[in-house]
Amino acid sequence: MPTISDVARAAGVSMSTVSYVLSGRRPISAETSARVRAAIAELGYHPHAGARALASSRTSVLALVVPLRADVNVPVIMQFVTAVVTAARRYHHDVLLLTKDEGTAGLERVAGATMVDALIVMDVEGDDVRIPALGRLKQPSVLIGLPDDPAGIACVDLDFAATARECLTHLAGHGHRRVALVGPSPSVYERGTTYAQRFLDGFTDASAELGLETVAHSCEPGADGVRDCLAWIDSEQPGTTALLVHNEDALVPLLDELRARGRSVPGDLSIVAVCPRDVATSLPVKLTSADIPAHDVGTLAVETAMALLEGRKAPGTRLLPPTIIERDSCGPLS
Amino acid sequence: MPTISDVARAAGVSMSTVSYVLSGRRPISAETSARVRAAIAELGYHPHAGARALASSRTSVLALVVPLRADVNVPVIMQFVTAVVTAARRYHHDVLLLTKDEGTAGLERVAGATMVDALIVMDVEGDDVRIPALGRLKQPSVLIGLPDDPAGIACVDLDFAATARECLTHLAGHGHRRVALVGPSPSVYERGTTYAQRFLDGFTDASAELGLETVAHSCEPGADGVRDCLAWIDSEQPGTTALLVHNEDALVPLLDELRARGRSVPGDLSIVAVCPRDVATSLPVKLTSADIPAHDVGTLAVETAMALLEGRKAPGTRLLPPTIIERDSCGPLS
DNA sequence: TTGAAAGCGTTACCAC
DNA sequence: GTGGTAACGCTTTCAA
């Protein structure tokens, strides 16, 4: 493997000149630059990442911590991951993948060893034990999610409360007065990832503001969970004309069950789902949905990390506004 | 951040002693070792990864290249990823995540910069352009998949040909004589990831050996794709009594469609699926399945990479034997 | 069983 | 616009 000094010799310049050609941190004459670049190409030179990290104390690597739990929607996680990797590459960074089950130790390990410039942490809980640990690191971090006390922390997420409000407003605009929320599985609420609660809060508030009659219920996984949830809604609030579904995994069994019961969508029942675009459009009924902008959130997390690194920005919360996409599952009250 | 020399001073020993305590590469008296460890804990010392990589030319990082395409089953990919990350940690390695769309350049970048010790590459195609590039790297690599010419390359995968054979044998054992293969989407065959073809070859061979009547057809995504595929099978081979489904995404719409047609499983039609355990068990009918051992394959890929790094092993192909798990979708011929 | 010191390949400061 | 060179923090050989 050629080193920077090989390149310098081949180009007839000093090591520092080669370094500056590469970093652009000082002006180099066009001619010299060309000669250096030619030598680099000729020798197939790649700067040694470790040496560079040692000398510059920057690694060009971002840590990304992903959850592995069963009650997360795996394709959505993967959308975040690909968005983060893709965005990181635009900033000439790579991504080191950590799993949440390493906990605080994992963060301290990669940060302590100076393996990364910044950390992006997914699946943040309300009172996440990792948050104090992140505060002690010398690297900045960005949370995807919103803890109970986000003061002084960089957070990025969808505005779930506003999303719930928008969905209800949409349904009310179609004349619906009795709406039920089909929520995530109980384990999601219990675990303390706050998005479920924030959505529920927005739902409750907007329901009062709009003068709607509403109920909300969590929904266990699988066809049985859906049936139980529907039964609960039927008994608790008969005459419900619209469902707001905040549970990707419930959608397929839900549509199945409704079809089995002979209830048409949106004829007999309107549905608004909270889910990524591709799942909304891949179901038998194209669902009117509030988008989960995994790609945007992941990209924004990377941009925030970069801004933090460059001191362009102070930590703070950024919640993305909701987007309702009208499709075929939400009709006027019949 | 404390350095090794801070630790050395605190413990009253030399830098090299600290280094050897950490690496275990030479005997250290229990007493000295204890003093050093105490100092390390006290100071919160972490070796600097870049400095270590520079001095030792080892990074303790593995590159993992994942596909981002639409026609892959995302949860399966994620199973590979988590298996690789988890196994890598057991060997004190971290994982740098690359996407396949960076192509050859991505491999050359991280290898050239000495960011990783070895590379694990998923979604290998028959005539993958990345293979010659991998051969030029100074780091070893492990393919998950099997290219057309695997000579001299470390490859790990499920033995898809044997899997097809086992499935047919299983069905034949239940008395089925007319079987249809519901294959992956045509794009999978076209792209050249070889597992689809290997499965099909095994299917064809075993069909002849067992004296079965069989047909095979690819299956486009979605409910329409499934209907088309079933229609094709019905017209091409009437009297088919069993389906071998090598397409995770087709399973839900397939079971839907059969139910809609009033055909019971396994009463009217037996099914063997090729899919991960969790999808086989999460459907309305618990499917008899040939397992996709993503966890095992990912783990084995890491172990192979480690063996290669330590010179414990020469490159070569390792195909995991199939496992058929009997559940409720495969009955005797009625 | 331990220490000293020569690298490892960059970056970035100080000169010119 | 360019060159020289001291760090950066560790591993590992050579010596004792």
pLDDT digits (tens, 9 = 90+) for A52-86: 999 999 999 999 999 987 678 899 999 999 999 99
Span between the terminal Cα atoms of chain B, in Å = 73
Length of chain A: 334
* Structure confidence by residue, pLDDT tens digits, B98-151: 999 999 999 999 999 999 999 999 999 999 999 999 999 999 999 999 999 999
Report the residue from A99, A113, A256 with minimal CB separation from B85.
A99
Average pLDDT estimate for A183-189? 92
pLDDT at A265 over 80: yes
Q: Return the percentage of chain A with pLDDT > 90, whole number.
A: 90
Backbone angles phi, psi at A82, to 5 degrees: -65, -35
Question: Which segment, A64-78, A314-328, B69-83, is predicted with the most confidence on average?
Answer: A314-328
At B333, the pLDDT band (50, 70, 90 cuts) reads confident
pLDDT at A59: 98
* Mean pLDDT score, A299-318: 97
pLDDT of residue A190 exceeding 90: no
pLDDT(B334) > 70: no
B→A interface, C-beta within 8 Å: 1, 44, 46-54, 59, 61, 64, 68, 74-75, 77-78, 81-82, 85-86, 89, 94-99, 102, 108-110, 112-115, 138, 222-223, 252, 256, 282, 284
Average pLDDT of the segment spanning A179-188: 95
What pLDDT is attached to residue B282? 86
Of A49, A82, A96, the CB nearest to B68: A82
C1' of nucleotide D6: residue with nearest CA: A55
pLDDT value at residue A334: 65
Strand C atom within 7 Å of B54 CB: yes
Q: Which domains does chain A have, with CATH numbers?
A: 4-47 (1.10.260.40), 61-158+295-320 (3.40.50.2300), 160-292 (3.40.50.2300)
> Cα separation of B186 and A258, whole Å?
32
- Provide the pLDDT for residue A102: 96
Confidence of residue B222 (pLDDT cuts 50, 70, 90): confident
Rg over alpha carbons for chain B, rounded to the nearest Å, is 25
Indicate if the pLDDT at residue B223 is higher than 90.
no
Query: How far apart, in whole angstroms, are the C-alpha atoms of residue B239 and residue B245?
Result: 17
Q: What is the mean pLDDT of residues A186-213?
A: 94
Q: Is the CB of B264 under 7 A from strand D?
A: no
Q: Which nucleotide minimizes the distance between its C1' and the CA of B31? A: C1
Average pLDDT (B171-198) is: 93
Nearest CB to B82 within list A47, A99, A256: A99
Contacts of B180 (CB under 8 A, 6+ apart): B214, B215, B216, B217, B233, B237, B240, B242, B243, B244
Q: Going edge to edge, which strands form the sheet with A178-182?
A: A213-217, A178-182, A242-245, A270-275, A288-291, A324-325
